[in-house]
């Protein structure tokens, strides 16, 4: 019987050792799988955040595209209001014609071209002096104000010399560059 006991002990220890080895391998496997699963969960969470950010960006892009299409409709209208830089070529001729029509002695000179950023409004600076009677000077100023160009006057002065009024001005004519 002692042999049987020894044989039983050996089988029992062998089964117990095998079971413990299986449990140990299973436990180690679970630990590694658990770490791997946590890493995957972390990556999935990061990917979800990235997808949410990309969705926001794409929504913003769609919104910007829609707004851009709306704005482009107005660009043609604005293009007709504010001339391009080539349209300023005719400014001097038109101002001189106004002066002649209003019987005003005019000296009009362009100075410096002011570049705006791409798509922005720039322009060209000018100076002018005019001499005429008061009614003709007022008519010239009214016609000048109603021209198709946009102006900014930086210096403006009117002096009287007897019956003649002298106008001097410096400013900027705006254009799309």
**pLDDT of 17:** 87
How distant is the alpha carbon of residue 91 from its chain centre?
31
CA angle 64–69–70, rounded 5-degree value: 95
Distances (CA, A) of 166 to 75, 130, 147: 39, 6, 21
pLDDT attached to residue 34: 78
pLDDT in tens, the chain (177 residues): 566 667 888 888 888 888 888 988 888 888 887 787 778 888 888 989 999 998 898 888 888 888 888 877 776 666 666 666 566 778 888 889 999 999 999 999 988 877 766 666 778 889 999 999 999 999 998 998 888 778 888 899 999 988 899 999 999 888 765
> In this predicted structure, what is the pLDDT of residue 130?
93
The tokens of 106 are what?
């005019």
Residues 6+ apart with CB under 8 A from 85: 113, 122, 124, 175, 176, 177
All residues at 6 or more sequence positions from 131 whose CB lies less than 8 Å from its CB, including other chains: 104, 105, 164, 165, 166, 167
pLDDT value at residue 104: 93
Pairing of strands 164-176, 151-161: antiparallel
Cα Rg of the chain, angstroms: 43
Q: Are 131 and 108 in contact (CB under 8 A)?
A: no
In degrees and rounded to multiples of 5, residue 49 shows phi and psi of -65, -45
pLDDT digits (tens, 9 = 90+) for 143-160: 988 887 788 888 999 999
Among 169, 173, 94, 162, smallest CA distance to 130 is for 169
Stated pTM of the model: 0.52
């Amino acid at each position: 019987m002692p042999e049987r006991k020894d044989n039983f002990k050996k089988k029992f220890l062998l089964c117990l050792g095998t079971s413990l080895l299986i449990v140990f391998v299973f436990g180690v496997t679970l630990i590694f799988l658990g770490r791997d699963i946590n890493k995957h969960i972390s990556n999935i969470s990061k990917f979800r955040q990235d997808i949410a950010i990309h969705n926001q960006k794409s929504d913003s892009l769609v919104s910007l595209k829609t707004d851009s299409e709306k704005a482009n409709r107005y660009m043609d209208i604005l293009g007709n209001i504010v001339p391009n830089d080539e349209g300023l070529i005719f400014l001097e001729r038109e101002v001189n014609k106004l002066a002649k029509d209003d019987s005003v002695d005019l000296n009009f000179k362009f100075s410096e071209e002011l570049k705006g950023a791409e798509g922005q409004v720039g322009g060209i600076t000018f100076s002018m002096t005019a001499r005429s009677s008061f009614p003709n000077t007022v008519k010239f100023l009214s016609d000048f104000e109603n021209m198709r160009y946009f102006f900014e006057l930086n210096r403006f002065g009117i002096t009287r010399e007897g019956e003649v009024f002298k106008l001097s001005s410096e400013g900027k004519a705006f254009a799309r560059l």
